[in-house]
Amino acid sequence: MNYFKKILSSLITIFIVSLIIFLLFELLPGDPVLTRLGVETDPILEARLRKEFGLNSPLYIRFFKWCFQVLKGNLGNSFSYSGYTVLELIKSRVFTTFIITVTTLIIVLVTSIPLGTFLAKNNKIRFFKFLKVFSQIGFSIPTFWIAIILIYIFSLKLKLLPTLGTINWNRYPITSMKSLILPVLTLSISKVPLVSHYLCNSMIEESTKDYVRVAKSKGLNQNEIYRNHILRNSLISVITIIGMITIYLITGTIIIENVFALPGLGTLLMEGINRKDYPLVQGIVLYISLAVILINFFIDIAYSIIDPRIRKGKEKK
Amino acid sequence: MKKKIITALIALSLLSLGGCKDEKIEDDTRMVIPIKVGFNSIAPDTDVSAATKEVIRNINSGLIKFDPDSKTLIPALAESYEIKNDGKTYVFKLKDNLKFHNGKNITSEDVKYSFERISGINTGKPIVGEWSKNLEGVNIVDDKTVEINIKDKEKSSSDIYNIADVSIIPNKMSEAELEKTPIGAGPYKFVEYIPGQKIVLEAFENYYLGAPEIKEVEFKVYKEGAGRLLSFKNGEIDFLPLNSETFKEIQKEKNIEIVSSLGNDVNILYLNNSFKPFQDKRVKQAIWQGIDIDRIINSLSLPTSEKLYTHMSPYLKEFYEKGLEKNYPYNPEKAKELLKEAGYSDLKFSITTISENTFENDLALFIKEDLSKIGVDVSINPIPWGQYLPEVYKGHKYEAALLRVAGYPDPKRILQRYETNYSSNMGNYSNKKVDALLIEATKSYDQQRKIEIYKEIQKLLNEDIASIYLIDQGVAVALSPKYTGYKTYPFAFIDVSTIKLKKNKQ
């Protein structure tokens, strides 16, 4: 029942988001036909494209037409890439964004959990307090700045990695892999301090709780207490942060994709907005909404795995 | 165990960093060229935007073409041509052994199909609006000779330029095929296209002028910015369009060749005649004389740029009217006097610019600063191109506006913008004499007479201050040290076939 409610509310959210985007696009100044034709507009071509794009019908008809089309699994044709469907365009870009997201997440998890634990354990030592301040600086630096510094070191000075992203897995698999190293590194550098900082704070807080004292009095050693009790309870707050990071990554890291000229979803979304290509923008927004809902769903599951009390609490209801 | 995993991970990452070689073929015959935006369509002539044309022109070829050296039209796929029936009929004779990228021979059938496609005669779906109005029909005389007939009412001496723009494609090739795998007769064959990302082309061995030296070229979408310069210096891109800043930066490098020329584009400060103060010529003159264009060129522009006095760049030498230079020199004192005389000593107006164009926004700041010295209060109103196009360019809703107006090889197309009823007459300019001269030029097939007419129009535009003409910014491109020989065009075209390998030259 609970899940049914959740799915229903998600569908309503998607519908409302789509409607808002549709209306916003209508309010924005500019015209998709003129944007496409540019200065060399011609009344004959304008009329032809307006008909092809279906712009002659009123807004509500266009919106409901779009909704029915989506229900049939068709996101429509792009205005700005003639001959290509929105789905084809999203498919061609989603893989890059997916790889960046997954690799960054793995790096963030693998690095920040031990790091956060280590910082929390050694919280009393002055040097580690300094490290915590340092991590705060780490997540305050804008990502594009980190990107530029990394490009300077790894591309220009060491000549190890390309500055320019080439993604073509069939023709150049190694170059494609190399192209993703700096973007992933940039994103990881900005996210690892954030997650480890949160984890560290949360663990310090947990370590003052009664059950820790009880565990200590039972004679358990510090490592065991940290691993089996404190870390587990602290992970709950970290999962929320990880969820937010995942949503940030999956929605297309516009800045990073731009800096490294990577063909991901973020750049596709920007192109769609600039060219007033509303089928494309609607399609990407729909995809993003679905991704956000799915991530929230997985976070829920993760909560209940880590903390059985949450699962049991739900069962009682 | 943990240690082993960590060691393995480090080893793996090191391997990926240094162990494997880049596949970017170290071969000099492969170039990567950055472009600003993705294309709307790669089918020949479908997308009219400059960003697409500059690339797609490498795939296609027309019957005749513009030659950047002589600055005239010369035969391309055609061996020769003849204009008959007072400009109604154009007879083209094709060269021998012409081939399309798919190996098929080019015949009159293909020429007929290409012209009918573009005008939408058979399909009702015109590709270029003007052709749907102009084309009466195409007759096949024999396998290698075609007659293109223009409608009597529409025929003009500019038709030859329009003919040069029509890409010849294989007979019966559908739009869907052309959208996904275009075939033409240009110097480069289509290989791969990923929308919004890149297009890869390969040299065409049977090109009628011989196969180009650059065997493969990848046009890659890569927005302007610091990253481009870094990638160029790092050898990842081989071609870099320059602005004044990157020009200075690249100039320091010894081995890098910079190709520069006038651009034939005109930067204009449009003063809308429907805004009352601009109906007074003295106000317009005061603004012109109040702007220090030399200072703008020295601080903002490429060294190749040139001051303008009318809507024509000296790029098209033959048509350019010299001698207008002395009319409105920078003179702030005179400007103040003129404003006082006209009764506008506290004039205020806004300049609308395209927010995406850094150059024009900087230009607006310079103008604002200069005009404040003569007591004119300018506000700058930057709006996105998507809004500028319908409101300012088409709707003429602005007081003053900055625009870089693209040039063409055909002066008629440049100066037509001043015809009273022309939709892109952005300044709402109207002069019966100019209208009459434009019609006369359209009807005249005598080159000398046309030159006289276009010069006369330029004089009138300068005299009436139809707009304030600022500069031809020029174009400059840096080539990586391996290449040479690149040629610029007076319209959007990165002609890769002109690029040669330096080592072949030495």
The string over B27-56, giving b where at least 16 C-beta atoms fall within 10 Å of a residue's C-beta and e elsewhere, is ebebbbbbbeebbbbbbbbbbbbbbbbbbb
A182 to chain B: closest CA residue: B17
Structure tokens that stand for A105 in this block = 């997440």
A177 to chain B: closest CA residue: B16
B406 to chain A: closest CA residue: A39
| Average pLDDT over every residue of B414-427 | 90
Asked if A164 lies within 8 A of B43 by C-beta distance, the reply is no
Structure tokens that stand for B351 in this block = 């300049």
**pLDDT of A260 over the 50 cut:** yes
- Long-range pairs for A68-77 at CB < 8 Å and ≥24 separation? A70/A286, A75/A279, A75/A282, A75/A283, A75/A286, A76/A279, A76/A282, A76/A283, A77/A279
**Among candidates B41, B176, B222 on the partner chain, residue whose Cβ is nearest the Cβ of A261:** B222
Task: Say whether residue B387 is in contact with chain A using an 8 A CB cutoff.
Answer: yes
At A246, the pLDDT band (50, 70, 90 cuts) reads confident
Q: How far apart are CA B94 and CA B433, in angstroms?
A: 41
Across the A:B interface, residue pairs with CB atoms under 8 Å apart total 155
Task: List all residues 6 or more positions away from A275 whose beta carbon is below 8 Å from its beta carbon.
Answer: A32, A35, A36, A79, A80, B40, B386
**pLDDT of A317 over the 50 cut:** no
Structure tokens that stand for A50 in this block = 């307006």
**Quick one: pLDDT at residue B279?**
93
B274 φ/ψ sector (left φ>0, alpha ψ -120 to 50, else beta): alpha
B403 and B393 Cβ atoms separated by less than 8 Å: yes
A154-180 pLDDT tens trace: 888 888 888 777 777 777 778 788 888
At B14, the pLDDT band (50, 70, 90 cuts) reads very low
In terms of DSSP bridges, do strands B64-67 and B78-84 run parallel, antiparallel, or are they unpaired? unpaired
Q: Which residues 127-156 of B are in CB contact (within 8 Å) with A? A: 128-130, 132-133
**B291 to chain A, minimum CA–CA distance in Å?**
27
Task: Say whether residue B14 is in contact with chain A using an 8 A CB cutoff.
Answer: no
Residue with tokens 């790096």: A107
Contacts of B220 in chain A (CB under 8 A): 164, 166, 261
Task: Say whether residue B47 is in contact with chain A using an 8 A CB cutoff.
Answer: yes
Burial class (CB within 10 angstroms; exposed 0-12, middle 13-18, buried 19+) of A60: exposed
pTM score, two decimals?
Answer: 0.84
B5 to chain A: closest CA residue: A110
Q: How far apart are CA A150 and CA A163, in angstroms?
A: 9
At B1, the pLDDT band (50, 70, 90 cuts) reads low
Task: Say whether residue A176 is in contact with chain B using an 8 A CB cutoff.
Answer: no
B241 and B477 Cβ atoms separated by less than 8 Å: yes
Q: How far apart are CA B238 and CA B290, in angstroms?
A: 42
Cβ atoms within 10 Å, residue B191? 14
Asked if B230 lies within 8 A of A35 by C-beta distance, the reply is no
**Positive or negative torsion for Cα A45, A47, A53, A59:** positive
At B9, the pLDDT band (50, 70, 90 cuts) reads low
Asked if A37 lies within 8 A of B48 by C-beta distance, the reply is yes
Q: How far apart are CA B67 and CA B498, in angstroms?
A: 11
**Quick one: pLDDT at residue A80?**
87
**pLDDT of B359 over the 50 cut:** yes
A109 and A241 Cβ atoms separated by less than 8 Å: no
At B15, the pLDDT band (50, 70, 90 cuts) reads very low
Residue with tokens 């002659």: A56
Task: List all residues 6 or more positions away from B257 whose beta carbon is below 8 Å from its beta carbon.
Answer: B478, B479, B481, B483, B484, B486
B369-412 pLDDT tens trace: 999 999 999 999 999 888 898 899 988 999 999 999 988 889 99
**Quick one: pLDDT at residue B4?**
59
Task: Say whether residue A10 is in contact with chain B using an 8 A CB cutoff.
Answer: no
Asked if A83 lies within 8 A of B16 by C-beta distance, the reply is no
Q: How far apart are CA B378 and CA B372, in angstroms?
A: 7
**Stretch among A56-65, B78-87, B347-356 having the lowest mean pLDDT:** A56-65
Average pLDDT, chain B: 90
Bridge partners (DSSP) listed for residue B220: B34, B198
Q: How far apart are CA A302 and CA B309, in angstroms?
A: 71
Task: Say whether residue B38 is in contact with chain A using an 8 A CB cutoff.
Answer: yes
Start-to-end CA span in chain A (Å): 11
Best mean pLDDT range from A169-173, A301-305, B28-32: B28-32
Among B450, B250, B245, B468, which residue's Cα sits nearest to residue B351? B468
A103 and A278 Cβ atoms separated by less than 8 Å: no
User: What angle, 0 to 180 degrees and rounded to 10, lies between the N-to-C axes of helices B244-251 and B226-233?
Assistant: 20
Asked if B227 lies within 8 A of A276 by C-beta distance, the reply is no
**pLDDT of A315 over the 60 cut:** no
Q: Which residues 11-50 of A are in CB contact (within 8 Å) with B? A: 28-31, 34-45, 48
At B427, the pLDDT band (50, 70, 90 cuts) reads confident
Backbone angles phi, psi at B410, to 5 degrees: -95, 115
**Among candidates B17, B130, B391 on the partner chain, residue whose Cβ is nearest the Cβ of A42:** B130
Q: How far apart are CA A109 and CA A106, in angstroms?
A: 5
**pLDDT of B225 over the 80 cut:** no
Q: How far apart are CA A122 and CA B166, in angstroms?
A: 74
Q: How far apart are CA A184 and CA B162, in angstroms?
A: 49
- Pairwise pLDDT comparison (A168 vs A93), residue with the higher score: A93
Q: What interface predicted TM-score (ipTM) does this complex get?
A: 0.76
Q: Which residues 93-152 of A are in CB contact (within 8 Å) with B? A: 93, 148, 151-152
Q: How far apart are CA B49 and CA B400, in angstroms?
A: 25
Work out the angle at residue B136's Cα, subtended by the Cα atoms of residues B132 and B139, and round it to the nearest 5 degrees.
Answer: 125
**pLDDT of B13 over the 60 cut:** no
B278-328 pLDDT tens trace: 999 999 999 999 999 999 999 999 988 999 999 999 998 889 998 898 899
A83: helix, strand or coil: coil
Asked if A162 lies within 8 A of B176 by C-beta distance, the reply is no
Asked if A38 lies within 8 A of B49 by C-beta distance, the reply is yes
**Quick one: pLDDT at residue B240?**
94
Asked if A30 lies within 8 A of B43 by C-beta distance, the reply is no
**B236 to chain A, minimum CA–CA distance in Å?**
7
For an interface test with A, give the residue of B32, B46, B234 to mutate (most A CBs within 10 A): B234
Task: Say whether residue A259 is in contact with chain B using an 8 A CB cutoff.
Answer: yes
**Quick one: pLDDT at residue B191?**
94
B37 φ/ψ sector (left φ>0, alpha ψ -120 to 50, else beta): beta
Task: Say whether residue B43 is in contact with chain A using an 8 A CB cutoff.
Answer: yes
Task: Say whether residue B157 is in contact with chain A using an 8 A CB cutoff.
Answer: no
B48 to chain A: closest CA residue: A37
| Average pLDDT over every residue of B115-136 | 90
What share of chain A in percent tops pLDDT 90? Answer: 8
Asked if A48 lies within 8 A of B126 by C-beta distance, the reply is yes
**Positive or negative torsion for Cα A38, A39, A45, A46:** positive
CA A188 to each of CA A81, A95, A106, A111, A166: distance values in angstroms, whole numbers, following the listed order: 33, 19, 9, 9, 20
Asked if A181 lies within 8 A of B17 by C-beta distance, the reply is yes
Asked if B234 lies within 8 A of A163 by C-beta distance, the reply is yes
Work out the angle at residue A278's Cα, subtended by the Cα atoms of residues A275 and A282, and round it to the nearest 5 degrees.
Answer: 130
- Determine which helix (DSSP H) or strand (DSSP E) holds B471, and give its type and residue range: strand B468-472
Work out the angle at residue B91's Cα, subtended by the Cα atoms of residues B85 and B97, and round it to the nearest 5 degrees.
Answer: 175
